[in-house]
Amino acid sequence: MSILTSNTSDSLEATDAVATSAPEPILNGRPSGWGAAWMLARREWVRFFRQRNRVVSAVVQPLWFWLMFGAGMRGSFSWTASGQEGFFEYFLPGTIGLIVLFTAIFATISVIEDRREGFMQGVLVAPVGRWPVLIGKVVGGGGIAWAQAVLFLGLVLLFGTAEPSWNLIPAVGLLAVMSITLCAVGMIVAWPMTSTQGFHAVMMLFLMPMWLLSGAFSRFRRLSDGGSIGSSILHWIMRCNPLSYSMVELRRLLYPEVVLSGNVWGPGSSVNWFVSLAFLIVSLGLAGWLMRGSRRADLI
Amino acid sequence: MHTADPHVESESLAVEAVDVRHAYDDHVALAGMSLRVPQGKIFALLGPNGSGKTTLFRLLATLMPLQSGELRVAGVGVASVMEVRRRIGIVFQSPSLDKKLTVLENLRCQAALYGIRGALLRRRETEVLQRLRLEDRKNDFCEKLSGGLKRRVELAKGMLHQPEVLLLDEPSTGLDPGARLDLWEALNEFSKAGLSVVLTTHLLEEAEKADQIAILSEGKVIAQGAPDRLRSRMGAGLITITTEDPHAVCRRLREQLSLEGQALNNQVRLQSDHPGPLVSQLLDVLGDQATSVSVGRPSLEDVFIAETGYQFWSGAS
């Protein structure tokens, strides 16, 4: 097996050539952080498509969720003034949000795997700093999440649950914002972690409730005079959740003709976009801040 | 204790450490380490677990910031992180390959991290794949490669940007003897081409292959030099006396033969340039006190024992 042994004429020649040649000069190319970020983003895609189970589950699982919950809870509540749209329609943006969330989680959990499998240590000592790691991960993972969400949206249009319209263009843009934001949130959680178990714990404690309390699954009720303290607390929790605003806007873009019923809370488009973009900037900024300097997790 | 060779010019050093100290919370890993590694040589940092070699490797690799002292790699202080990183190639103890990618894709990832692209990338790819005899495996997925081949891909990654100093952390770990031989042939080849190779190891037989070594213990360099020269300092031979009471034997040797022995566990060790004639004398003097007397050539472990007073694998007593 030994290929490096010098008992072939080729290798002897190679060794002689090396022995007599002068030391080669160091390469003078200046590494580009953007080049490194693009490589890391492309790597996410390559790895994704080489793991068939991820590709299949990414498409089938949300579809299954949507059909199962949509059929099971059909007619459980009405959320529009006309009363014609049911849970199937209400849960559609929530399902798309779930796709983005799950894919972002799987993309960022790979940071922990990259650490454990060793790939990350080579990246951390490269002369490009750490921001390309963040950009590469959020662009790569966010791109996968966005593509899956758009694919699912296409399937939904085929089923006729939503109508094609020009509003789908800003909807696709909003999905891009959500994808990158949730990847950045995933990076905030994953970067200091040394085990995937720890990530799953935080996911169940923080990320899943963030999705559940965004109005993705249940009606986002207005505050009313006769409401209980519990429903008021829930209202404010949902209102403080930045993902809620993306959900409201996504629902509005998918069903532009629908008028919300009186008891469903829904801020205006400008507020929704402002909060969604602010969430993106804050998440990216916090992730970048957390990733600077060396951490104990770097030394695994 | 041997310190660094003062005749080596600072500019021609691959690594220079002056009074480097590092602590993890309360645990002191480096306790004022000073070291001068000449360029173009294979230099091994030899030490048992906990001697500080991995901490020094991490500092050299810029994985951790320097806490105290001076540390330069290829003439550049480690505080200039990006400058140092451009000058070093690193092979970690655990593989840093993406197993889901092919050999060539892994090299291209490395190229992107070091700003190598276009015609230069194609030339360097061809060169490192040829030099490490990986051309016919370049399209194989790394998860399907043997441990030895993976290590060669790691070397190819580390060499792609033509570093001035190649750092390797325990490079032989997990390799079979054939793969170790391959690794060392490659390292010798790189060294002949002018590359400085600095590696950490806890394997005495591996350190023997290096041009120069530094023996580390408790965060300090206790001896440095060529393996042959270090061994020759111990004399031509080493006499090992096995006994139940090593301190009594030491006392008797001192009183009756004016010899200074070193007690270690149930042994007493004596350095001598003429061990043969001394053996019969020892048997006469010690009688039943000596269970056995043996003579051997000094090894690096003997150098370690002579400097520290404890065995390489036992840790500080």
- Burial class from Cβ neighbours inside 10 Å (0-12, 13-18, 19+) for residue B262 reads middle
Q: What is the pLDDT of residues B83-139, one digit of tens each?
A: 999 999 999 988 889 999 999 999 999 999 999 988 999 999 999 999 898 999 999
**What percent helix, strand, coil does chain A show, rounded to 5?**
70, 0, 30
Nearest-angstrom CA–CA distance, B295 and A82: 101
Flag whether residue A138 sits within 8 Å of chain B, measured between CB atoms.
no
In chain B, residues with a C-beta closer than 8 Å to the C-beta of A2 are 178, 181-182
Task: From residue B247, give the alpha-carbon distance in Å to each of A9, B241, B264.
Answer: 59, 12, 9
* Chain A / chain B CB contacts < 8 angstroms: 138
Contact call for A29 and B114, based on CB within 8 A: yes
Contact call for B100 and A50, based on CB within 8 A: yes
Q: Which residue of B has its CA nearest to A26?
A: B162
Q: What's the whole-number mean pLDDT along residues A20-37?
A: 65
In this complex, the residue of B65, B88, B98 whose CB is nearest that of residue A43 is B98
Q: Any idea what the Cα angle at residue A15 is, between residues A14 and A19, rounded to 5°?
A: 120
Q: What's the whole-number mean pLDDT along residues B72-88?
A: 93
| pLDDT for the residue B3 | 45
| pLDDT for the residue B272 | 81
Q: What's the whole-number mean pLDDT along residues A240-266?
A: 84
B46 to chain A, closest Cα gap in Å: 21
Output the average pLDDT for chain B. 87
Kindly tell me if the per-residue pLDDT of A174 is higher than 50: yes
In chain A, residues with a C-beta closer than 8 Å to the C-beta of B112 are 35-36, 38-39
Kindly tell me if the per-residue pLDDT of A4 is higher than 50: no
Of A17 and B156, the one with more pLDDT: B156
Global confidence as pTM? 0.81
Counting runs of H as helices and runs of E as strands, what totals does chain B give? 11, 14
Q: Which residue of B has its CA nearest to A18?
A: B193
Sheet holding B196-201, edge to edge: B88-91, B165-169, B196-201, B42-46, B212-217, B220-225
A129 to chain B, closest Cα gap in Å: 8
| pLDDT for the residue B28 | 92
Q: What is the pLDDT of residues B188-219, one digit of tens each?
A: 999 998 999 999 998 888 899 999 999 999 89
| pLDDT for the residue A9 | 35
Instruction: Read off the DSSP letter of residue A25.
Output: P
In this complex, the residue of A47, A123, A293 whose CB is nearest that of residue B100 is A47
B219 to chain A, closest Cα gap in Å: 18
Contact A66, A77 (CB under 8 A): no
Of the pLDDT bands very low, low, confident and very high (cuts 50, 70, 90), residue A294 is low
| pLDDT for the residue A92 | 86
ipTM of the complex: 0.78
Q: What's the whole-number mean pLDDT along residues A55-61?
A: 79
Nearest-angstrom CA–CA distance, A91 and A89: 6
Contact call for A122 and B94, based on CB within 8 A: no
Contact call for A126 and B116, based on CB within 8 A: no
Kindly tell me if the per-residue pLDDT of A12 is higher than 50: no
| pLDDT for the residue A172 | 96
Q: What is the pLDDT of residues A106-136, one digit of tens each?
A: 788 888 888 888 899 899 899 988 899 999 9
Flag whether residue A127 sits within 8 Å of chain B, measured between CB atoms.
yes
Q: What is the pLDDT of residues A41-57, one digit of tens each?
A: 999 999 988 888 877 88
| pLDDT for the residue A299 | 63
In chain A, residues with a C-beta closer than 8 Å to the C-beta of B86 are 26, 31, 127
Kindly tell me if the per-residue pLDDT of B258 is higher than 70: yes
Contact call for A36 and B112, based on CB within 8 A: yes
Q: Per the structure block, which two tokens stand in for B166?
A: 């190649």
Nearest-angstrom CA–CA distance, A95 and A101: 10
How many C-beta neighbours within 10 Å does residue B65 have? 12
| pLDDT for the residue A17 | 37
Sequence-separated (6 or more) residues with CB below 8 Å from residue B6: none
Q: Are strands B27-38 and B13-24 parallel, antiparallel or unpaired?
A: antiparallel
Of the pLDDT bands very low, low, confident and very high (cuts 50, 70, 90), residue B78 is very high
Kindly tell me if the per-residue pLDDT of A7 is higher than 80: no
Contact call for B113 and A122, based on CB within 8 A: yes
Q: Which residue of A has its CA nearest to B154?
A: A122
Residues 27-66 of A with CB under 8 A from B: 27, 29-32, 35-36, 38-40, 43, 46-47, 50-51
Nearest-angstrom CA–CA distance, A95 and A214: 12
| pLDDT for the residue A73 | 77
Q: What is the pLDDT of residues B211-257, one digit of tens each?
A: 999 999 989 999 999 998 888 887 778 888 899 888 888 888 888 88
Q: What is the pLDDT of residues B168-180, one digit of tens each?
A: 999 988 788 888 8
Q: Which residue of A has its CA nearest to B39?
A: A23
Of the pLDDT bands very low, low, confident and very high (cuts 50, 70, 90), residue A15 is very low
